[in-house]
Structure 1
């Protein structure tokens, strides 16, 4: 089985969020179970010279963008045993950031068409399946069916479209249909690409792909309801038979406390005493009192409402009266950045606010914290809770999306569970859950140590998910 995985970002070339991790780790896992998975993405200017200098140029060709033809180069590199293709156009992709420009419809419309044109230039590799991800690739299934249906190289290709976050939909003016995408105005109706008064790339993928998926079972259920559905819940309900929820994993080679180069000390599930060296060194580094008997609550997050920052804001002063320390890492809305800066000034022995982003510091927080807080309003899958479990840091989460599918609240009666959870989106439910975790940290070290070990032994690698994707792919034929 041959799969071309297409995405707008991919670690280690360029990554802004969880999609970048998935685009790297899932194809790698698929190849380990015998699927010829390859990745295609834009050749951004921000990709390091190391990778650019090691790319092999395959061919140049033209890509229609409305009435114009635009240059496209196709480059190739193999990294970590995975073949990667790159769509090269300096005008579209040699910019400071990958997204957020006035012409994103044109840029990713070009990319979608270029992916399909590139298949003519990949030698003996013709995919059985194109696996599309998020709105930036949503037009690929439409253009494939509209423009390439009679092409011998394309007419047997099936498509899978994965939602990583339904909130970001790529909605643009209807004129893009003819002016950029070479599609006729017949696609501008409710049963095709029309979304209110615009054209939605996300809706295009959901409507025209042969199968659709998202990154957890719970999120697949949630987005079929009006609250989470972002106006597309009706469409998703109508395709429920073709809609799969497959939980993301993490790459256990990268996220491994036994070898992670960013940690102060290495440890694993067989001997985790050195986790506490990471805690004390993190406290020293951030000028917090070094005290192994005080729990550190880690927060590594975008500082926005979706991540539950409004809940934290409601009770932060009260929470800081407890015997805890809080370490925050992230950037986002000014109100939350300022809030953490203020409380770090007011309680310098209890809160460290790091209003930036650093992968190195993030890893130190995952390893050095005792608890990891993710009170999200919604969370398609989430990666923070998976890393925290791997690093022996007990997660405290709200029961939504992938958080609900991976973190299970400790049950006093049965002894089951790997963390602490709350269901209602309520600040005091969150606060009570944090204090429940504090109780076990302080008073039941036997249970607390079992929670640490249970998380570290949990298999959240990509292996199980890769087999589920193989099942999804096989269902297309």
Structure 2
């Protein structure tokens, strides 16, 4: 089974969010179960440097100019790189400049990604031809449209990592990217008078997946669908919409072999967690008190992530002697509010604006509770990391959070299924209630350790997800 993943990020070479983590794990897990999986990426400087030596597969000219297609390997998985320096040789973020302005030619940069993906199913590489193309998020959404325009020479899967980002561009660009005008209508590329790369992935693919079962259901409702509920409901009714949960890469995220922390630990040998807590408290200049309940958060600072709800609820933590350590960046008004709280409560709150991979591992290893109070969350990865590290997740019941965390009610604790703290409504009151429940369990250390044990025993490995995608590929080929 030859599968080509088409995407725009790859951990650890280039990362802006969870998509990179998925792409840095899923194809490699599929390789382990016998799938001939390869990856197609733009040759961003960081990607090209990380892949290293490559061979030229072919050169061509098309609507995007002169392009060289290269092939190399990364950790045993084949990688195609679209070498087009005039489009991709830009340092930093792959989507926008240092002022957060989208690149004006994004329509062309990501149309080329989809075009090459489709061509690799029709003989662009004379030695290898994709049987199934698996496109990820709007950046790769046109892949299925190009395949449709070529008579569907391969099967196609499109995965929604976050429906909020849709890749919409002006209609007149249609004539620059090699697709016929007849595909621009409501049953095709058109959305609100523009070309939607994400809608192209939804409409033209043989199967669509969301990154958790609950998110797959949520996106068929107006609240979560961003105007696409009609199409998504149709896909659901036709049996073409699936929810497959993301996994955790044990080679990167495991407290017993994490290369970013010095003090390793595992179930029945938890001393390292206490040492990581001490180091985390020291890093953020918080009192090194092992009895203080330490809440942590690693996130983009946006309303989607519920950061405003946390800001409104912080005093619930402070008044009970808890501590809070946050790593992230995002909306300036949220960054400012968190900085103000850290100045007001220096004994309780530590903030670092920005991103630091090593610090993120220490935070998750050293915390007691990891906060993920999102308004919506397609899958979420930090709560999965929290479970693995015995840092109990406190989450809102949405998307993948609802699928992976079981609330610590007395009944669930007794049944040994509780793994964290869950609240339902995106309100300050509901979040404060969950924080109160965390403090209440912390006062009963024997029960806390019991819940922590169950959390660390959960299995969200990528091998499980890889097998489910394999079953999906077989399903669409059997139709």
TM-score (norm 2): 0.94
Aligned to 1:2: 2
CA distance in 2, matches of 1:24, 1:216: 18
On the 8 A contact 1:211/1:242 being kept in 2, the answer is: yes
Q: Give 2:142's match in structure 1, choosing from 136, 139, 144.
A: 139
SS in 2 for 1:305: coil
1:350 aligns with 2:348: yes
SS in 2 for 1:244: strand
1:24 aligns with 2:24: yes
Q: Deviations over 1:383-407 (max 9, x none)?
A: 0000111111001000000000000
1:86 aligns with 2:81: yes
Aligned to 1:239: 235
SS in 2 for 1:373: strand
Q: Deviations over 1:344-381 (max 9, x none)?
A: 11111100011111011100000000000110000000
Q: Give 1:291's match in structure 2, choosing from 269, 289, 292.
A: 289
Aligned to 1:218: 214
CA distance in 2, matches of 1:259, 1:321: 36
Deviation at 1:186, TM superposition (A): 1.6
Task: Give structure 1 stretches of 5+ with no counterpart.
Answer: 150-154
Q: Deviations over 1:93-122 (max 9, x none)?
A: 011220021111011112211233345343
Deviation at 1:84, TM superposition (A): 1.2
Q: Give 1:389's match in structure 2, choosing from 387, 390, 405.
A: 387
Aligned to 2:169: 172
Deviation at 1:263, TM superposition (A): 1.3
Aligned to 1:98: 94
Aligned to 2:362: 364
CA distance in 2, matches of 1:344, 1:447: 31
On the 8 A contact 1:264/1:277 being kept in 2, the answer is: no
SS in 2 for 1:175: helix
Q: Give 2:200's match in structure 1, choosing from 204, 220, 236.
A: 204
Deviation at 1:315, TM superposition (A): 2.2
1:162 aligns with 2:159: yes
On the 8 A contact 1:172/1:199 being kept in 2, the answer is: yes
Tell which deviates more after alignment, 409-418 or 36-45. Answer: 409-418
Q: Map residues 397-476 of structure 1 onto 2, 5 A cutoff.
A: 397-415=395-413, 416-442=417-443, 444-476=444-476
On the 8 A contact 2:57/2:71 being kept in 1, the answer is: no
CA distance in 1, matches of 2:388, 2:125: 38
On the 8 A contact 2:222/2:229 being kept in 1, the answer is: yes
On the 8 A contact 2:365/2:389 being kept in 1, the answer is: yes
Q: Give 2:125's match in structure 1, choosing from 116, 119, 122.
A: 122
1:77 aligns with 2:72: yes
SS in 1 for 2:156: strand
Q: Deviations over 1:196-241 (max 9, x none)?
A: 1211001001000111111000000000000000001110111111
Deviation at 1:425, TM superposition (A): 1.2
Aligned to 1:47: 47
Q: Deviations over 1:43-93 (max 9, x none)?
A: 1023363x35x322223422421xxx6111122222222111111100100
Q: Give 2:251's match in structure 1, choosing from 227, 250, 253.
A: 253
On the 8 A contact 1:73/1:89 being kept in 2, the answer is: yes
Deviation at 1:414, TM superposition (A): 4.2
Tell which deviates more after alignment, 327-336 or 315-324. Answer: 315-324
CA RMSD of aligned residues (A): 1.4
SS in 1 for 2:406: coil
4+ runs deviating over 3 angstroms: none
CA distance in 1, matches of 2:48, 2:402: 37
Q: Give 1:374's match in structure 2, choosing from 349, 372, 376.
A: 372
Deviation at 1:313, TM superposition (A): 2.2
TM-score (norm 1): 0.95
Aligned length: 464
Aligned to 2:337: 339
Aligned to 1:152: none
Tell which deviates more after alignment, 414-423 or 350-359. Answer: 414-423
Tell which deviates more after alignment, 181-190 or 81-90. Answer: 181-190
Pair 1:116–1:188, CA change in 2 (3 A): closer
Deviation at 1:144, TM superposition (A): 1.3
On the 8 A contact 1:10/1:21 being kept in 2, the answer is: yes
Pair 1:123–1:185, CA change in 2 (3 A): closer
SS in 2 for 1:330: strand
CA distance in 2, matches of 1:144, 1:31: 24
Pair 1:4–1:407, CA change in 2 (3 A): same
SS in 1 for 2:407: coil
SS in 2 for 1:425: coil
Tell which deviates more after alignment, 114-123 or 323-332. Answer: 114-123
Q: Give 1:324's match in structure 2, choosing from 322, 325, 344.
A: 322
